[in-house]
Amino acid sequence: MCGEMPVVRKSGKSYDGYIGRAYRAQLLRSLSIDSNYIHPMEPQTQSNSLLVGIGVLLFVLGGLLGFALIPAPAQEQMVSDVMPEQEEVSTYAEQERTYLERIALPEPDRLGGMSVTQALAERRSRREFAEESLSLPHLSQMLWAAQGITSERGGRTAPSARDIYPTTLFVAVASAEEVAPGVYEYLPETHELGLLIEGEVGDAWNAITPQPHPQNAPVTLFVNGNVLKPVERYGTEGARRVTYLEAGHVGQNLYLQAEALGLATLTMGGLDPAEARAFLGTTQYDEVLYLVPIGYRAAEVVDGEE
């Protein structure tokens, strides 16, 4: 049972999405478990903690002794293996990018549609897609539901811990009205698509997921978490937690919006994040958490259950 999550305070410098090497090391140290913490329901862990503490101490002393016996150049090599040389690290969202093309999306509907209650009552994971291009208004509406800006200060349709917004949406278009096949980034600030890769994902899907749904859907979203972005506020473990939780909110928004529009969709965690990262060309601090195929429902499927 681990202790309370250490609260990592913001550093002296203002939050700009980048962290230096020393501060990063401090964050990692701050994640060590407090060995004095005893969960009130588990008093027997007290003696276990003592034994574990002695074990850890012996392990660390042994490690230090072993390390001291290694020649200095080899020590430097080992340290640089775990601590990258560069002072600054960044996620995909923080890098300067140019797009091959920018496509303005139509204004989303902010008022109409099915009631939230009805969408909740009818929501299902739907895996059978009609062979029909996704219309531009429907694509626009889905992207807005996932990450659209809805307030002057930049608030979005999905909540975000401390307004950090670690989510990036990549949009793989196989067949959509007025949008050429390609992989785009959704740009919430301007409600546009920015073209990154021309052409369909095609056979590259086979490496990303063994499931057929993205290959059958006209559009598939990659919901990407920039897991380093919240680290300065939340520490490494907390950053993962808030990034993953945010992706859950985004997924439910997509489900409910799809239901209201009569579309088929599902969130798919069954993917290989390393392959997805390699395909998208994102950084080691980015993680694709879901794939979200979107399309029209195949006529014969009534409630989407497999």
| 266 near ligand FMN, judged by CB under 6 A | yes
| 143 near ligand FMN, judged by CB under 6 A | no
| 270 near ligand FMN, judged by CB under 6 A | yes
Q: CB under 8 Å to 228, separation ≥6 — which residues? A: 19, 89, 90, 91, 239, 285
| Closest CB to ligand FMN: residue number | 270
| 252 near ligand FMN, judged by CB under 6 A | no
Helix 136-147 to helix 231-261 angle (10° resolution) is: 140
C-alpha to C-alpha distances, 98 to 42, 71, 275, nearest whole angstrom? 55, 46, 23
| 139 near ligand FMN, judged by CB under 6 A | no
CA 184 to chain centre: 16
Lay out the site mask for ligand FMN across 195-214 (x = CB under 6 A, - = otherwise). Answer: ----------------x---
Q: What 8-state DSSP symbol labels residue 161?
A: G
Q: Annotate 232-291 with DSSP letters as a single string.
A: HHHHHHHHHHHHHHHHHHHHHHHHHHHHHHTEEE--B--S-HHHHHHHHT--TTEEEEEE
Minimum CB distance to ligand FMN, residue 262 (Å)? 16
| 258 near ligand FMN, judged by CB under 6 A | no
Selected binder of ligand FMN within 53, 84, 154, 269 (CB under 6 A) = 269
Please tell me the distance from the alpha carbon of residue 113 to that of residue 117, in angstroms, as a whole number. 11
Selected binder of ligand FMN within 164, 231, 268, 292 (CB under 6 A) = 268
| 282 near ligand FMN, judged by CB under 6 A | no
Selected binder of ligand FMN within 21, 102, 124, 233 (CB under 6 A) = 124
Question: 62 or 270: whose CB is closer to ligand FMN?
Answer: 270
| 276 near ligand FMN, judged by CB under 6 A | no
Question: 3 or 269: whose CB is closer to ligand FMN?
Answer: 269
Under 8 Å between Cβ of 138 and 145: no
